[in-house]
Structure 1
Amino acid sequence: MVLRAAACLICFSSPLLAEGYATPVELGEALFFETELSANGTQSCASCHDPNAGFADPRRDANGAFSRGDDGVSLGARHAPSAAYAALSPAFHRNADGAWVGGQFWDGRAADLEEQAGGPILNAIELGHKTEAEAVARLAADPDYVAAFAALYGVDIRSDARAGFAALTAALAEFEASPVFQPFDSKYDRFLRGEAELSREEELGRVLFFSQQFTNCNQCHQLRRSAMDPSEPFTDFRYHNIGVPANLAGRQENGVGADWVDNGLFDNPLVKDPAQRGKFKTPTLRNVAVTGPYMHNGVFQDLRTVIVFYNKYNSAAEAARINPETGMEWGAAPVPETLSTTELTHGPALDARRIDALVAFLETLTDSRYETLLGD
């Protein structure tokens, strides 16, 4: 059995057991680190969803907001979201109120984890395989994979590429739904279990976050009815337009024109309503302090900047018009006609102390294995 070096990361023991891949999760783990899933054999799922960086792309500079494809040149126009806690998202659907909910990717175009897992493999500017058959053929060259797919899914990947690709994405989804991706062991989780105490600043941030009066955070980032629910994903899995400005620095590298507008949810083939233009899926806030840059286009580097950005909708102060990272005005909302105005203008303006308290609380949502990344 060949031991792939990419699988031997700090946080994980090798998934490659002496007796082979005993479960779909073990097979999915091996595939998650499998560089043969890229056309030139240089990248894997873990390249853009690094398990040592909150399952996000760890690059932090403005021109590194977009993940680079396996050709070393290609760039997309969106920041790769963290894969942690992604399994909690429901399948893409419209709820009883007619709002779009769930799915995967920033625009929900993948109905579920299995569909999402196959997307990057066949994307020309990501992992770069042209067909399902091409990707499966790479795996079929490894007898261990042949045996695993036959034993776990009843599929002969040497002769049935379509079934093999379906089994491939199913195994990846099984791994991404495992506790490795959603351990619920942050300081906040330990606080809920009575195993940790929050500092005064963190507690102030918690109270502000869940407040129905003083902030707008929980308008989009709280799913459960109780603020003490241990399974809170810190997202409503819905789609909102919060007026995020274009990442002009990133566009200088990816070549996208300064006047181009990302349609967000409206680019989803199932969504025909232009009123959804410019809306993006609310991301989980779990591990948010260690998975920057932020927003769908990676335009902000610092978590505090994100909160200051939200605060501009409630503050009349001159300073609220300025992006602290650039010293310039924030920039116009690309699609102003669909802004989530009700949610954005809920609550009074926040002073610096309360902004800092919210940052401190958001840092408590960091899974224990990433707490060393928080710094001082």
Structure 2
Amino acid sequence: MWRKTQVIGITALVWLIALFVGLDVPAQTSGTLDSGQQFDVSQAFGPGDVKEGYESVDYETQSRSLLSRRGIKQDLIKIVENPPLGLPPVEFPADNPITRAKIDLGRLLFFDRRLSINNTVSCANCHIAEQGFTNNEISTAVGVEGRIVIRNAPTLYNVAYLQHIFLDGREISLENQVWQPITARNEMAAPSIGYVINKIKRISDYDGLFEAAFEGRSADIATIGYALASYQRTLLSADSPFDRWYFGGNEDAVNESVKRGFAVFAGKGQCSVCHQINNDHALFIDHQFHNTGLGYAVSTGKTPTQIKKKTRVQLAPGVFVDMPNETIQSVSRVESFNDLGLYRVTENPADRWKFRTQTLRNVALTAPYMHNGQFATLREVIDFYDQGGIPNELLSPFIRPLGLTESEKIDLEAFLESLTGQNVPQIVADAFAAQIGELSKDDPNWAHQNTLGF
């Protein structure tokens, strides 16, 4: 619970500071997507969703920017069948070849809150499209009724290439993986797989869709997994400035700072040992698990002060304040999570505090970082690895002090920022066009008519 209480305490503390010191909150507005096949989000708003008469004229909230948000449906099958520059071909399971019907059905399921026990949480609540298919606003995920998840929500970009799903690697199939968050008590909390299947069968939005996508087969444990996996496999993003320079041969695609940063990445920084680059593509992963010391530090009761002196707190989108950890702790109830990582799967003591290497593609979009969202900025991550992680008996041999200079750190961060895929706006626009599944009073699953939903 300590992260939840931290967020509450930090928010209250920082806004009090802002009131006393007269902190100016800069404006941030979201751009409007180009017109095309559009879905007007404002039409889905209900009473209380739009607040008129805000006193501040310097800051436009993200909820207001939703009024101008437009979705443009993309032909996602073209992306997955012809991946962007820098990515290898996608391998499809023999029992789940990719089709447009499956992708469209999977998208509908991904954004449907009715898959959760109380119809409030969808996959997209934790994997937010415009936030890198993760959640930039909280360190660890939050499920139904505010239940705390002990890990940061990992990005879904390029999840098609993972050999191990989840940060502890407990699943190897996207088709099977989808059921774990749906039935996890602290996530979507559906009581059983059968409960979800019967619930979906009662929703008119899905009438005929499963049968059309799966040759007459209705919703079941397999077809729901096939559909959700098919949509997630299309979330491919590359053709970044780095790709156009490194794989495309365009010397003007990146500046000199990025090139120097890549030299640090592949050389002195030894980052590419785990975040690997191949001759014709780069996933920036090694499909392995490593102990950086962070999990050890949290599990053994080290405070954030012993890991770093300040934490960057987000007041509002684009507005950050660096707060001393001593101040944060003074208003927080600290309770450590003993997350043993890969050990939870293997029960091998040597696997304690090991977590899967995460991709660096689109890393500038996927803060906060590490398995528990410990660090808010790329610079904090660089500093952590530069110091050699947190020493412990099982520390990965690849983690050691680096002795990077200030200029090398700046260049390394510039390189990491060059890994943002060119097609991100298109994938986000497609997500904005998705139908949001919500319970209505004419739905046969309406709680007052049938509590169990069967």
Q: How does 1:191-340 map to 2 (within 5 A)?
A: 191=245, 192-195=247-250, 196-211=252-267, 214-224=268-278, 226=279, 229=280, 231-244=281-294, 245-246=297-298, 257-258=335-336, 260-268=337-345, 271-313=346-388, 336-340=392-396
Tell me if 1:190 matches 2:190: no
Q: In the alignment, is residue 104 of structure 1 matched against residue 165 of structure 2?
A: yes
Match of 1:13 among 54, 73, 77: 73
**Deviation for aligned residue 1:364:** 0.4
The 1:254/1:190 distance shift into structure 2, 3 A limit, reads: farther
Matched residues, percent identical? 32
Please, which runs of 5 or more residues in structure 1 have no aligned partner?
Answer: 16-20, 91-102, 158-163, 314-329, 372-376
Q: Which runs of 4+ in 1 moved over 4 A?
A: 3-6, 8-12, 247-256
Quick one: which amino acid aligns to residue 75 of structure 1? I
Query: Number of paired residues?
Result: 308
How far residue 4 of structure 1 moved from its aligned partner, in angstroms, is 11
Q: Post-superposition shift, 1:345?
A: 2.4
Deviation at 1:70, TM superposition (A): 2.1
* Deviations 1:56-93 (CA, angstroms, capped at 9, x unpaired): 1121xxxx21111122x201111111111111112xxx
Q: Deviations over 1:116-171 (max 9, x none)?
A: 211111011111110112212222123442411122223233xxxxxx12211111
CA contact (8 A) 1:56 1:82 kept: yes
* Aligned twin of 2:223: 167
Match of 2:150 in 1: 77
Conservation of the 8 A alpha-carbon contact between 1:266 and 1:272: yes
Alpha-carbon distance change, 276 to 300 in structure 1, aligned in 2, over 3 angstroms: same
Shift of the 300–183 alpha-carbon distance from structure 1 to 2, 3 Å rule, reads: closer
Indicate yes or no: 2:405 matched with 1:343: no
In the alignment, which residue of structure 1 is the partner of 2:421?
Answer: 367
Contact 2:369-2:377 at 8 Å conserved across structures: yes
Q: What CA deviation, in whole Å up to 9, does each residue of 1:318-360 have, x standing for no partner?
A: xxxxxxxxxxxx8x55xx22110x21127x4110100110000
- Give, in whole Å, the separation in 2 of the partners of 1:370 and 1:215: 28
Contact 1:239 1:280 in 2 (8 A): yes
- Residue equivalent to 2:120: 42
Give yes or no for contact 2:107–2:228 (8 Å, CA) kept in 1: yes
Provide structure 2 residue ranges, at least 5 long, that are not aligned to the other structure. 1-38, 45-65, 76-98, 305-324, 426-454
Taking a change above 3 Å as real, the CA distance of residues 307 and 128 of structure 1, as seen in their structure-2 partners, is same
TM-aligned CA deviation for residue 43 of structure 1: 1.8
Q: For each residue in 1:263-290, what CA deviation from the matched residue of structure 2 results, as whole angstroms up to 9, or x when unmatched?
A: 100101xx13210111000000011111
TM-score normalised by length of structure 1: 0.75
1:86 aligns with 2:159: yes
TM-score, reference length from structure 2: 0.62
Q: Tell whether 2:431 aligns with 1:356.
A: no
d(CA) in 1 for partners of 2:212, 2:423: 33
Deviation at 1:254, TM superposition (A): 11
**CA RMSD in angstroms, aligned pairs only:** 2.9
Work out the CA distance in 2 between the residues paired with 1:252 and 1:30.
44
